């Protein structure tokens, strides 16, 4: 009995507690990211934004969630019901399970696997399936075309993201996310991070993250020439909300990836006291918040791209640029004898 408890029950309880410790704050962050977005856009447009429900409008996300929860979920009569309902669930779940390998501090990670980058590659690639399933199962030509366009967009920019990440891996010599952060530690603090050393790739990664998460100015699936809402045009209530929860959770995930790859993860930007007294997870959260603000800032600033501009940027600009920088990085590391062993 003791062996069963120590071998199965206790490890399972610890794993569940670790999962809840990440998912619950993440869901709260997703909810209040919608509030922050509306406030940032309101400030950019000289408006007040949410200010009625609760003090300073702080209960607005809860009111929006309750409204969507109690609305009726309408499923089109010609739709494939199982796939129609499974698509938003898959999209939302994939945005959560990627956090299993994200390190919040030294040793603070659910699964510190040596192939964490490959795990994230696999999860991000699966995200296309939720969109294709939603567009096809709706039995609507508008939704199906929107799903194809969105899938083409995500695949286009995943290629560039892949080359950018490989450029970082060349400098680190490891697929472990914690090792990537540790490799950026140095006496120069923020200057030692990869945002400066790999600055063009930092910009490419951020812009590609906007396209990967279908955010403005690359929100073509949602715009769809302003006639319908792309692949989720037939969705309502909580099935509709799950797509948006997945989108905002993916925004936070891509911000976390940007922080880990280029902004030193949990490391302090100034490597001496009193800055080093601040806990690593707090620095990590502040960097994620900064990148998220940049996401919102871009939405408030730039108009939506045309689809041909979107594809041209991905295939004719970012792909050659990221591939060329990858070759240049490898060449410099070999020539200077600094290639990690």
* pLDDT digits 0-9 by tens, 16-71: 888 888 999 999 999 999 999 999 999 999 998 888 888 888 999 999 889 988 88
The 8-class DSSP code of residue 138 comes to T
Confidence at residue 154, expressed as pLDDT on a 0 to 100 scale = 85
> Residue 105 pairs with which residues in a beta bridge?
108
Confidence at residue 77, expressed as pLDDT on a 0 to 100 scale = 86
pLDDT higher than 80, residue 228: no
Mean pLDDT of 215-244: 78
Confidence at residue 1, expressed as pLDDT on a 0 to 100 scale = 64
> Residue 72 pairs with which residues in a beta bridge?
none
* pLDDT digits 0-9 by tens, 279-308: 989 999 999 999 999 999 999 998 888 888
Mean pLDDT of 204-227: 79
Confidence at residue 76, expressed as pLDDT on a 0 to 100 scale = 86
CA dist., res. 317 & res. 305, Å (int): 15
**The two structure tokens encoding residue 126:** 């699966």
pLDDT-based confidence at residue 10 (cuts at 50, 70, 90):
confident
Who's near 65: CB < 8 A, 6+ residues apart? 31, 241
Mean pLDDT of 123-133: 87
Count of C-beta atoms within a 10 Å radius of residue 109: 20
For the entire predicted model, the pTM comes to: 0.92
Average model confidence (pLDDT) for the chain? 88
Mean pLDDT of 234-261: 90
pLDDT higher than 90, residue 257: yes
Confidence at residue 217, expressed as pLDDT on a 0 to 100 scale = 85
Who's near 120: CB < 8 A, 6+ residues apart? 98, 101, 257
């Amino acid at each position: 009995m003791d062996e069963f408890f120590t071998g199965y029950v206790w490890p399972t309880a610890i794993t569940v507690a670790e999962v809840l410790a990440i998912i619950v704050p993440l869901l709260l962050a997703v909810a209040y990211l919608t509030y922050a977005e509306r406030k940032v856009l309101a400030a950019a447009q000289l408006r007040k934004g949410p200010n009625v429900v609760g003090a300073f409008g702080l209960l607005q996300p809860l009111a929006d969630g309750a409204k969507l929860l109690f609305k009726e979920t309408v499923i089109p009569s010609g739709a494939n019901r199982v796939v129609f309902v499974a698509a938003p669930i898959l999209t939302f779940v994939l945005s959560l399970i990627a956090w299993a390998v994200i390190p919040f501090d030294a040793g603070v990670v659910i699964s510190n696997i040596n192939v964490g980058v490959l795990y994230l590659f696999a999860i991000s690639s699966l995200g296309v399936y939720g969109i294709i399933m939603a567009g096809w199962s709706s039995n609507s030509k508008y939704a199906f075309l929107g799903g194809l366009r969105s899938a083409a967009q995500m695949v286009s920019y995943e290629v560039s993201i892949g080359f950018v990440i490989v450029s970082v891996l060349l400098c680190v010599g490891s697929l472990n996310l914690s090792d990537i952060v540790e490799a950026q530690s140095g006496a120069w603090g923020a200057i030692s991070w990869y945002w400066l050393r790999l600055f063009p790739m930092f910009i490419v990664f951020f812009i590609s993250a906007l396209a990967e998460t279908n955010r403005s100015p690359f929100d073509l699936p949602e715009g769809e020439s302003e006639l319908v809402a792309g692949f989720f045009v037939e969705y309502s209530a909580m099935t509709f909300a799950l797509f948006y929860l997945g989108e905002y959770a993916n925004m936070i995930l891509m911000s976390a990836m940007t922080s880990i790859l280029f902004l030193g993860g949990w490391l302090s930007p100034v490597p001496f006291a009193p800055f080093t007294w601040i806990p690593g997870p707090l620095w990590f959260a502040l960097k994620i918040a900064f990148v998220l603000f940049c996401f919102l800032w871009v939405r408030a600033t730039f108009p939506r791209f045309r689809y041909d501009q979107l594809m041209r940027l991905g295939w004719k600009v970012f792909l050659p640029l990221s591939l060329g920088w990858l070759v240049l990085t490898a060449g410099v590391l070999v020539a200077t004898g600094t290639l990690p062993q």
